[in-house]
């Protein structure tokens, strides 16, 4: 609507001069200016979208990190994997399955690109590596395999997928 009004005004200005090339030049300049303004608005919209997405990602990551740190069952597995001292307090299968479900959720966020894979690897990948490469981790995986439950098999499959997504070799 605004473009039509602007072009109409250009017609009125140029009609008095009888110079068609001047009118065409003015129309072209107006169209170029409108195009530049539209591109600027599009660029600003893109920047706003990226800023909003970054804030949402940070909020989601913060919620996940808080849940990871505040869940006693998950932290029992983390502590068990981290400690080098012998311990009689092995996590039970329920705690191990909660730990793995947390990583399952991370895998979903990676697949949907809701969270950056590198960020997940930096903050949570260490304990997944501990699960695969330490004696304690391997013992927990063995217990999970021997658990003979459908959940155990599903968790192991999901864990393999997450391991591949994080490129843990």
pLDDT for 25-54, tens place per residue?
888 999 999 999 999 999 999 999 888 888
Mean pLDDT to the nearest integer, 11-19: 54
Residue 50 located in a structural domain: no
Instruction: Band the pLDDT of 72: cuts 50, 70, 90.
Output: very high
Q: How far apart are CA 50 and CA 67, in angstroms?
A: 26
Residues 35 and 86 in one domain: no
Residues 78 and 161 in one domain: yes
pLDDT, residue 42, reads: 92
Stretch among 5-9, 28-32, 85-89, 93-97 having the lowest mean pLDDT:
5-9
Residues 113 and 157 in one domain: yes
Q: How far apart are CA 50 and CA 168, in angstroms?
A: 29
Residue 49 located in a structural domain: no
Spatial contact of 68 and 74, defined as CB atoms under 8 Å apart = yes
Residue 154 located in a structural domain: yes
Residue 125 C-beta-side C-alpha neighbours within 13 Å: 16
Distance of CA 9 to the CA centre of its chain: 49
Residues 36 and 79 in one domain: no
Residue 151 located in a structural domain: yes
Residues 33 and 89 in one domain: no
Residues 11 and 92 in one domain: no
Mean pLDDT to the nearest integer, 83-88: 72
Residue 47 located in a structural domain: no
Domain count, the chain: 2
Inform me whether the pLDDT recorded for 149 exceeds 70: no
pLDDT, residue 70, reads: 93
Residues 75 and 152 in one domain: yes
**Six token digits for residue 47:** 């920047």
Residues 86 and 153 in one domain: yes
Residue 57 located in a structural domain: no
pLDDT, residue 1, reads: 55
Long-range Cβ contact pairs of 124-130 (< 8 A, separation 24 or more): 124/68, 125/166, 125/168, 127/77, 127/78, 127/81, 127/82, 128/103, 128/159, 128/162, 128/163, 128/166, 128/168, 129/168, 130/81, 130/82
Spatial contact of 8 and 23, defined as CB atoms under 8 Å apart = no
Residue 37 lies in domain? 4-41
Q: How far apart are CA 143 and CA 147, in angstroms?
A: 6
Residue 138 located in a structural domain: yes
Residues 161 and 88 in one domain: yes
Residues 36 and 88 in one domain: no
Residue 48 located in a structural domain: no
pLDDT, residue 10, reads: 55
Residues 124 and 85 in one domain: yes
Report for 69-73, 78-82, 110-114: range of highest mean pLDDT:
69-73
Residues 81 and 161 in one domain: yes
């Amino acid at each position: 609507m605004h473009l039509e009004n602007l072009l109409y005004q250009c017609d009125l200005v140029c009609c008095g001069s009888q110079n068609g090339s001047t009118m065409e030049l003015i129309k072209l300049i107006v169209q170029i200016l409108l195009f530049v303004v539209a591109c600027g608005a599009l660029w600003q919209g893109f920047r706003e979208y990226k800023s909003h997405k970054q804030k949402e990602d940070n909020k989601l990551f913060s919620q996940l990190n808080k849940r990871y740190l505040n869940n006693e069952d998950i932290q029992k597995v983390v502590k068990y994997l981290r400690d080098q001292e012998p311990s009689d307090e092995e996590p039970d299968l329920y705690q191990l399955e909660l730990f793995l479900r947390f990583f399952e959720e991370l895998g979903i966020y990676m697949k949907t690109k809701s969270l950056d894979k590198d960020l997940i690897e930096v903050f949570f990948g260490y304990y997944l590596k501990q699960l695969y490469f330490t004696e304690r981790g391997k013992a927990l995986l063995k217990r999970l395999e021997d658990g003979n439950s459908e959940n155990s098999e599903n968790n192991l499959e999901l864990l393999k997928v997450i391991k591949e997504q994080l490129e843990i070799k």
